[in-house]
């Protein structure tokens, strides 16, 4: 399915080249899609990878498992996302990518992509932009883990997913499908599943968001945005898909009735 081409914070003079590069990559991927089930490894830690992927449907996550079995989800990929881009530069992969549910991906081999680099500078620019976009999201993730309390982290995650899915045309009436379990949310937010459950109940009780087994409903976009505001970057603060509103100049405050949640260690 076609997705809206999205380049957050792009330099205006680069937009035409970015769109052309994206279209050429998509065309080169063709129709030889691969299918994965929940938990399947798409990229494996410590092994070479000769492919870059675009998620056509489903969700995937970049993960790392510690020696004692603890797992961290470093990034979540949504429909339309390019991922595995840094495999173009590395001989072995430092992290794995797993499917968070049934997923379909398009692929392009490194050799074909390097051929396009030589004839189409717009393709190289598109890949360079993706590396920059991945870094922007990672910076947000680090800020959340390092400085946000549990409620702020959860609000930021729910808004970030809403915003990205909304810009891909996958939101309906403020709701979106979410295949992540509470354990997976905990692995992403640096919390325990018990803490995740408590924060979700708090957000629901405050009328901000309702999270069920497979759905997220944003009940109060403005209130959720105010809670997440300290962690959002300048792009997310300005865009309506993330709850951004002109005139949010008085600084962040919690929605009425929300009690502070201590930061998880």
Residue-level pLDDT at 256: 30
CA distances from residue 153 to 21, 147, 165, 204, 233 in whole angstroms, order as listed: 34, 9, 18, 15, 13
Residue-level pLDDT at 225: 96
Nearest to 188, CA basis, from 81, 46, 64, 54: 64
DSSP string, 12-48: GGGHHHHHHHHHHHHHHHTT--EEE-TT-EEE-TTS-
Three-state secondary structure of 145-211: HHHCCHHHHHHHHHHHHHHHHHHCCCCECCEEECCCCHHHHHHHHCCCHHHHHHHHHHHHHCCCEEE
For the record, the structure tokens of 63 come out as 């993960």
pLDDT in tens, 12-47: 999 999 999 999 999 999 877 999 999 999 999 999
> In whole angstroms, what is the distance from residue 81 CA to residue 137 CA?
13
Is the pLDDT confidence value at 234 over 80? Answer: yes
pLDDT in tens, 125-171: 999 999 999 999 999 999 999 999 999 999 999 999 999 999 999 99
Mean pLDDT of 2-21: 88
Residue-level pLDDT at 31: 79
Residue-level pLDDT at 249: 37
Domains assigned to the chain: 12-141 (2.60.120.10), 149-242 (1.10.10.10)
Residue-level pLDDT at 1: 52
CA dihedral 21, 77, 106, 19 (to 10 degrees): -20
Mean pLDDT of 189-213: 97
Q: Is 58 helix (H, G, I), strand (E, B) or coil?
A: coil
Q: Any idea which of 45-59, 98-112, 234-248 has the lowest mean pLDDT?
A: 234-248
Select the more confidently predicted residue: 139 or 263.
139
Residue-level pLDDT at 255: 34
Residues 6+ apart with CB under 8 A from 120: 20, 21, 24
Residue-level pLDDT at 132: 96
Select the more confidently predicted residue: 94 or 262.
94
Confidence of residue 2 (pLDDT cuts 50, 70, 90): low
> Average pLDDT of the chain?
90
> In whole angstroms, what is the distance from residue 162 CA to residue 263 CA?
24
> In whole angstroms, what is the distance from residue 177 CA to residue 119 CA?
40
pLDDT in tens, 64-105: 999 999 999 999 999 999 999 999 999 999 999 999 999 999
């Amino acid at each position: 399915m076609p997705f809206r081409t999205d380049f957050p914070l792009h330099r205006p003079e680069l937009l035409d080249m970015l769109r052309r590069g994206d279209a050429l990559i998509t065309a080169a991927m063709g129709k030889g899609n691969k299918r994965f089930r929940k938990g399947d490894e798409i990229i494996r830690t410590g092994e070479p990878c000769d492919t870059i992927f675009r998620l056509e449907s489903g969700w995937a996550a970049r993960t790392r498992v510690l020696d004692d079995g603890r797992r961290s989800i470093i990034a979540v990929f949504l429909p339309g996302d390019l991922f595995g881009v840094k495999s173009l530069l590395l001989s072995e992969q430092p992290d794995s990518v797993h499917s968070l549910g049934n997923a379909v991906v398009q692929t392009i081999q490194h050799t074909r992509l390097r051929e396009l680099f030589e004839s189409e500078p717009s393709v190289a620019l598109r890949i360079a932009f993706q590396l920059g976009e991945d870094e922007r999201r990672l910076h947000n993730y680090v800020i959340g883990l390092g400085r946000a309390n549990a409620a702020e982290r959860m609000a930021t995650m729910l808004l970030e997913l809403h915003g990205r899915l909304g810009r891909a045309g996958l939101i309906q009436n403020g709701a979106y499908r979410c295949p992540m379990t509470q354990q997976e949310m905990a692995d992403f937010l640096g919390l325990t599943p018990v803490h995740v459950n408590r924060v979700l109940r708090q957000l629901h009780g405050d009328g901000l968001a309702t999270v069920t087994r497979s759905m997220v409903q944003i009940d109060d976009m403005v209130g959720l945005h105010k809670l997440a505001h300290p962690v959002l970057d300048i792009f997310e603060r300005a865009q309506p898909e993330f709850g951004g509103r002109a005139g949010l100049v008085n600084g962040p405050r919690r929605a009425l009735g929300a009690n502070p949640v201590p930061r998880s260690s």
